[in-house]
Amino acid sequence: MESKKEEVRRKHIRLHMEGALTARDKVGVQDFVLLDAYTSETAFLDNLRKRFSENLIYTYIGTLLVSVNPYQELGIYTVSQMELYQGVNFFELPPHVYAIADNAYRMMCSELNNHFILISGESGAGKTEAFKKILQYFAVTCPMTESLQIARDRLLLSNPVLEAFGNAKTLRNDNSSRFGKYMDIQFDFKGVPVGGHIISYLIEKSRVVYQNQGERNFHIFYQLLEGGEEELLAYLGLERDHQLYKYLSQNLFGIIASVLHLGNICFEENQQGCATIPDTHEIKWIAKLLGVHPWVLLEALTHRKIEAKTEEVICPLTPELSAYARDAMAKAVYGRTFTWLVNKINSSLVNKDFTGKTVIGLLDIYGFEVFDKNGFEQFCINYCNEKLQQLLIERTLKAEQAEYEMEGIEWEPIQYFNNKIICDLVEERHKGIISILDEECIRPGPATDLSFLERLEEKVGKHAHFQTRKLAGPKSRKRIGWMEFRLFHYAGEVTYCTKGFLEKNNDLLYRHLKEVLCRSRNRILKECFLVAELENRRRPPTVGTQFKNSLSSLLEILISKEPSYIRCIKPNERKEPNKFDDFLVRHQVKYLGLMEHLRVRRAGFAYRRKYEHFLQRYKSLCPDTWPHWHGRPAEGVERLIKYIGYKPEEYKLGRTKIFIRFPRTLFATEDAFEFSKHQLVARIQGTYKGCLERRAYLRKRQAAITLEAHWRGALARKEAEKRKWAVQIIRKFIKGFINRNKPLCPDNEEFIVFVRKNYILNLRDHVPKNLLDKCWLKPPGILANASELLRKMCTRNLVRRYCRGITAERKAMMQQKVVTSEIFRDKKDGYAESLNQPFANSRIDEGDISPKVLQLISSEKIQYGVPVIKYDRKGFKTRQRQLILTQKAAYVVELAKIKQKIEYSMLQGVSTSSLRDGILVLHVSREDNKHKGDAVLWCEHVFEAVTKLVMLVQKENIVTVVQGVSVRTKS
C-alpha cells in the first residue's frame, strides 16, 4: 500500500516537472544563463522586456548584472532593502545592485583580496546612479566607528563635487559624466572603510569653449551664477544673468570666474593684420582673478614667443591664432583645476595608517558611443571600451576554466578564444592610428586633417577593420565622407570624421601663456602650473598618448583585482518610464558584449550549485532525503536526482558542486519543489473551501429560482409592449408611403423625415473624396433639389481643399513645369511622359562632389547638379561628367577637376533634338576661346536640366528644339 502511494507521488512530481511555467513566461528568468534559447538575441530582448514591464530592472548573466534605467522611482533603494541583501548568498534573492556590492564586500573580507566593480553603459543609462547606490550601500551596511565617519562622509560628499565640475547636460542626458572616474575604497582588516583614492580620465576640456546645439557647459558655472552670493559675484566681477557671457551664451562655461571673463575677450585686426584687444575691461578682471599683470596677459594673448637657439623672438598673432590661444588657455585652466580638485579630494581621503588594507574599486566610465558625427572623443572612448571588453572576455574565460578545472569537469570553449584574437587585432589597429596621429602632430611642415587621413590610408589601409571612401568598395563608398574613416569594432562599424583630430590631439598651450600662468600669484594656479615646467623644453605628450598611457595603467590596476560587472542599458531616448525601444536596446546589448558573455557562461553547464545548498532546498522531493539526510551531501544529491529522474546527459557531479546542463531541468526541479511544498496545504484548503462553497451554493440556488420567476414575468410584459409599439410603427410607415407624394401632412410627415434621414446617412458614406470622382448617390424624388445643392457644396469644398493643399514647394515645381511646357510642348517626343515625373532640387548630393571642386567654386552657390555624359567633338567619345549649375555659370566636372566653365553671359543658346533622347548642346560664343567651344552632353533628366538652366540664364528664346536627328555644334 505504501509503495503504491509512493509511486503515485513520484508520478505527480514528474508530471509537474513537465508542466507549464506560467509565472516564468510572464516575468522572464532572473538569470540569462537559464535561457533555453541562449544564442538568440530575440529571446534575450524578450526576457529583458518582460522583466522591465514588471518593473524588474535587474537581471543576472551569471555574476554580471544587467541594469535597465527605469526613469522613475521604484522604491527599491531603502535602508530595509540594504539590510535584506546584507550577508545573503548571491543567488538567494532577486538581482539587485546591492547584491553585487555585498558579494564584492564579503569576498574581500573572507579572502582578503582586492576587488573592483566595472560600471559601463552609454550616457543616460544610469552608470552614475549605480555608482552612488553602491557608495550608499557601503556607507550604511559596513561596520562604523565615530572616528571613521568623517572618511565615510567625505567619500559620499566627493561625488556631488566631482559631478558639479565634471558633469554637463548633453542631448542624451541631463547629468552626463564628461570624464571617466575610478575610485578605490580602502577597508581595514575589520571591513571598515578607512579612506579612498580617485583617478579621473579624459576630462572633456573642449566643452569649455564649444558644445553641440542644445547642450550645456559644466554645471559649476551655472551653479556659481545662480547660487553665488551678491558679495561673491561682485568680487569676481560677474552678474547673475548668464546670457551676458559669450561662453555661456553659446551654452559654454568654465571652472572659475576668470574663464567666463576670458570668453568675452574679442580680437580685432589692425592694419598690419595682427590681433589687438580694443576693450581691456575683461583683461583687467582676469588679471585680478588670476594674480597676473594685465599687460603681460594682454601681450601673451596677442603674441607668441619663439625660441631659436640662443634667442627669443616675440611674434604677433593673427586674430584667429589669438582666439585659439584664448580657448587653449580656458581649457588648460579648467582641465588642470579639475585635476587639482581631484588631488585635493584624494588628500582628504588618504589614510595614513600603512598597515595592510584591502580595496574595492568602482569604475564609472563611458560606454561605447556611436553618434551621427563621431570625432576624436568617440575614438578614444571606443578604444577604451575595446580594451575593457577584451579584459571582460579574458577574465570570464579564465574564471570559467578555473572553476571547471577545480571541479574536475572537462570544458574547452575553444571557439570563444576567437574573441581575444579579434580584440588583439583591434588593439593593434588603435595603437597604429594613435601613433600616426602623433606623428602628424609633431612632424615638420604643414599637417592637416586631410593629410592625416592620407597617412592612415597609407599605413593602416591594408588592415581588415579599416576603411575610407578611397579604400571602400562600390556599395559602401557612398556612406563614407571624404574626410571620414570607418573602423570595425567588436560592437559593429563606426564612422569617424577626422575634422579636429589634430587640434584636439595637440591641445597645446603657447609657452608665452604658460609662463604667465606659472608666475601667477593665485594659490591654486601655482599648484596647477609649476615653474619647473618652463625648464622642460620637450614637447608635452599628446592627448592620445596620455589617454593610451592612462588606460594601460588602469588595466594594470584592474588586472590585479577580482572583477564584478554592471552593464547599464538605456531603454529609450526620451527618458520616459515604461517605454522599451527594441532597436535601441538591441544595439546596446550588442556593443556591451552581453550575448558574447552569455555564450561563454553557457559553453558548458547553465547552472552550478554547492551540494549543501542544492540538497537543503530540494530535499523534500525525495523520501530518502526528507526531512534529514545524515550522509555526505554529494551522496544525498546523487540519491535525490536519481529519484526525480535526471538523465545522465543533463548533469555532472563535481568535487563540491552539481552542474546542470539545461535550464529546463532546473526549472522542472523548481516547479516540482513548489508543487511538493504546497501539496498538503492545497488539500486542506480544498476540502474546507469545498464545504463553504456547497453551503453558499444552496443558498444562491434558492434565491436564483425566486428571482428567475419574477424576472421572466417582467420580460414577458416588456416583450408584449415592444410588439404593440412595433405594429403601430409599421402602420405609420405604410400609410406614409401611400401618401408620400402629397403635401406635408400628419399622414406622411414621419415617413418623409425617415426618407430624408436615411438618404443623408447613406450619402455620408458615398461623398466623393476628390475632384475627379464624379459619382453621386441618386436621391429620391422629394430630395432632388436638396441633393443638387449638397452636390454643389461638396464640389466647392473639394476645390477649396485642393487649392489650400498646394505647398510653396509644389507651386515652385509647377512654375518650373510651366517653363518646361513653353519650351518643349508639341516639340519634343517624351514630353507628355515627363509631366508626371516631379523635378528634384538636385540629382547630385554635395557629398558626391569632390572637396577640391567645392573649394574652386566656393564663392558661388550650387543651384543644381546632374550626372551627364559628354561627347568629344572629335570622335564623339563618351566621358562620364557632372553638370553643376550655379548663379553665374555652368560647370562640366570630372571627379576633382573642372573640365569646362560656361558663363551664362557667353551662352548663346541651347539645342535639343525633337526625338526621344537626352542630348543637349550648350552653344558658346566663338569670341571667347577659354570656353573651349560648344559642349555636347547626354542627360537622363534632359527636361529638368534644360528648365533649370533656362531659369538661371534668364534669357528669352535661348532653347532651340531641332527637328530630326542632327544638332549643330560649334568647333
pLDDT digits (tens, 9 = 90+) for 444-493: 777 788 888 888 888 887 877 888 888 887 777 778 888 888 888 776 78
Q: Is 398 annotated as a binding residue?
A: no
Q: Is 408 annotated as a binding residue?
A: no
pLDDT value for 243: 44
Is 320 known to be catalytic? Answer: no
350 Cβ contact partners less than 8 Å away, ≥ 6 residues apart: 195, 197
Strands 358-364 and 466-468: unpaired
Q: Is 593 annotated as a binding residue?
A: no
In this predicted structure, the answer to whether residue 674 has a pLDDT above a threshold of 80 is: no
Which position among 63, 114, 173, 374 bears the catalytic label?
173
Residue at grid coordinates 546542463: 661
Is 553 known to be catalytic? Answer: no
| Confidence category of residue 414, pLDDT binned at 50, 70, 90 | very low
Closest CA to 872 of 966, 937, 919, 929: 937
pLDDT digits (tens, 9 = 90+) for 530-548: 777 777 777 777 888 888 8
Global pTM? Answer: 0.60
Q: Are the CB atoms for 96 and 81 separated by under 8 Å?
A: yes
Q: Is 123 annotated as a binding residue?
A: yes
Q: CB atoms < 10 A from the CB of 428, how many?
A: 12
Q: Are the CB atoms for 283 and 297 separated by under 8 Å?
A: yes
pLDDT value for 940: 92
Is 473 known to be catalytic? Answer: no
DSSP one-letter string for 69-126: --SS--S--SHHHHHHHTT--TTTS---HHHHHHHHHHHHHHH---EEEEEE-STTSS
Is 124 known to be catalytic? Answer: yes
pLDDT value for 97: 93
More confident position, 705 or 210: 705
Beta bridge partners of 190: none
Q: Are the CB atoms for 945 and 939 separated by under 8 Å?
A: yes
User: Mapping DSSP to helix (H, G, I), strand (E, B) and coil, where does residue 52 land?
Assistant: helix
More confident position, 12 or 231: 231
Q: Is 124 annotated as a binding residue?
A: yes
Beta bridge partners of 68: 569
Supply 2's cell numbers.
505504501
Task: Convert 152-184 to b/e letters by CB count within 10 Å (16 or more is b).
Answer: beebeebbeebbbbbbbbbebbeebbbbbbbbb
pLDDT value for 19: 37
DSSP annotation of 294 reads: H
Closest CA to 504 of 335, 338, 329, 377: 377
pLDDT digits (tens, 9 = 90+) for 439-452: 777 777 777 888 88
Which position among 59, 63, 123, 506 bears the catalytic label?
123
Closest CA to 562 of 108, 115, 111, 65: 115
Is 520 known to be catalytic? Answer: no
Q: Is 227 annotated as a binding residue?
A: no
pLDDT value for 7: 61
**Preceding peptide of 627 cis, ω within 30°:** yes
pLDDT digits (tens, 9 = 90+) for 88-113: 877 778 899 999 999 888 888 887 88
Closest CA to 834 of 896, 774, 917: 917
Which position among 163, 204, 282, 369 bears the catalytic label?
369
Is 177 known to be catalytic? Answer: yes
Q: What is the mean pLDDT of the chain?
A: 81
pLDDT value for 36: 78
627 Cβ contact partners less than 8 Å away, ≥ 6 residues apart: 619, 620
Is 367 known to be catalytic? Answer: yes
DSSP one-letter string for 418-442: HHHHHHHHHHHHHHHHHHHHHHHHH
pLDDT value for 155: 72
Q: Are the CB atoms for 505 and 433 separated by under 8 Å?
A: no
pLDDT value for 429: 67
**Cα–Cα distance for residue pair 586/596, rounded to 1 Å:** 13
Q: Is 122 annotated as a binding residue?
A: yes
User: Mapping DSSP to helix (H, G, I), strand (E, B) and coil, where does residue 306 land?
Assistant: strand
Q: How many residues does the chain have?
A: 971
**Cα–Cα distance for residue pair 705/700, rounded to 1 Å:** 9
pLDDT digits (tens, 9 = 90+) for 388-397: 877 777 777 7
763 Cβ contact partners less than 8 Å away, ≥ 6 residues apart: 777, 787, 790
Which position among 69, 114, 120, 128 bears the catalytic label?
128
As a whole-number percent, the residues of the chain with pLDDT over 70 amount to 89
**Cα–Cα distance for residue pair 223/237, rounded to 1 Å:** 16
Is 39 known to be catalytic? Answer: no
> Averaged over 877-881, what is the pLDDT?
90
Supply 22's cell numbers.
506560467
Dihedral angle over CA of 475, 478, 480, 481, nearest 10: 160
DSSP one-letter string for 423-491: HHHHHHHHHHHHHHHHHHHHSSS---HHHHHHHHHHHTTT-TTEEETTTS-HHHHTTS-TTEEEEEETT
In this predicted structure, the answer to whether residue 10 has a pLDDT above a threshold of 80 is: no
pLDDT value for 865: 92
616 Cβ contact partners less than 8 Å away, ≥ 6 residues apart: none
Which position among 67, 103, 159, 177 bears the catalytic label?
177
pLDDT value for 697: 93
pLDDT digits (tens, 9 = 90+) for 306-324: 776 667 778 888 888 888 8
pLDDT digits (tens, 9 = 90+) for 807-824: 888 888 888 888 999 999
Strands 562-569 and 115-120: parallel
Q: Is 654 annotated as a binding residue?
A: no
In this predicted structure, the answer to whether residue 866 has a pLDDT above a threshold of 90 is: yes
